[in-house]
Amino acid sequence: MTGRGRFVTFEGIDGAGKSSHIEWFADLLRKQGHRVSVTREPGGTELAEAIREWLLSRPMSMRTEALLAFAARQDHLERVIRPALDSGVWVICDRFTDSTIAYQGGGRGIALADIETLERWVHPDLQPDRTYLFDLDPSIAAERRRSARAADRFEAEQQAFFVRVREAYLARAASSGARFRTIDSEKSIEDIRKILEVDVLNY
């Protein structure tokens, strides 16, 4: 494979089930002959993983949250995402800037324009080629989370928080044009994989 790699992101509220598809999706791409790197946000570098620990566990203001998310993102872009894409590797990222729009914007209440200013500063030239938004009713997502491990600072939020996060995701998807594919997370794993399998042939 030659040329620039594709940048694919997975998004959704906690409990929507995106993470169970990422490794499978990466294997699908590898079988098609692509070189693939799987990574996540916040995280993906030593520094960004340290920032992740703080973000998920320490009390802080919403502005600090947003700035730390972008600080982690800057390091991740410099050291991992951009070099991989430039060398032809496909990057599959569990969350990216759409998460900041949804969680710090929709969830916490930071003005969209302020997050977009940070977005233009950190990656004016780069957006995902494809974003899969796993969409699920927050009450069902809360049920799914209850059966998983202990809640971090975001997962411990009330349902109203996730209602706002979901709305912000859907608004972002509606205003971002062709890169988004919204997937109904109530579908079976098999049906979701079929959707991904067909869609990946389109970009």
Indicate whether 168 belongs to the interface with ligand TYD (CB under 6 A).
no
CA nearest neighbour of 13 among 194, 185, 193 = 185
Sheet of 180-184, strands arranged across:
36-40, 90-94, 7-12, 130-135, 180-184
Does residue number 132 form part of the binding site for ligand TYD (CB under 6 A)?
no
- Minimum distance from CB of 107 to ligand TYD (Å)? 7
Asked if 9 touches ligand TYD (CB under 6 A), the answer is: no
Tokens representing residue 196 in the block: 């991904």
Q: Is 44 in the site for ligand TYD (CB under 6 A)?
A: no
Residue whose pair of structure tokens reads 């069902």 in the numeric block = 140
CB under 8 Å to 121, separation ≥6 — which residues? 70
Rounded least distance, CB 123 to ligand TYD, Å: 13
- Residue 135 touches ligand TYD, criterion: CB under 6 A: no
Instruction: Work out whether 69 is an interface residue with ligand TYD (CB under 6 A).
Output: yes
List 9, 37, 45, 100, residue binding ligand TYD (CB under 6 A): 100
Token pair listed for 100:
């900041």
Size of the site for ligand TYD (CB under 6 A): 13
CB of 168 to ligand TYD, least distance (A): 11
* Angle (deg, nearest 10), helices 62-76 and 112-122: 20
Write out the residues near ligand TYD by the rule CB under 6 A.
14, 19, 41-42, 69, 94-95, 99-100, 103-104, 154-155
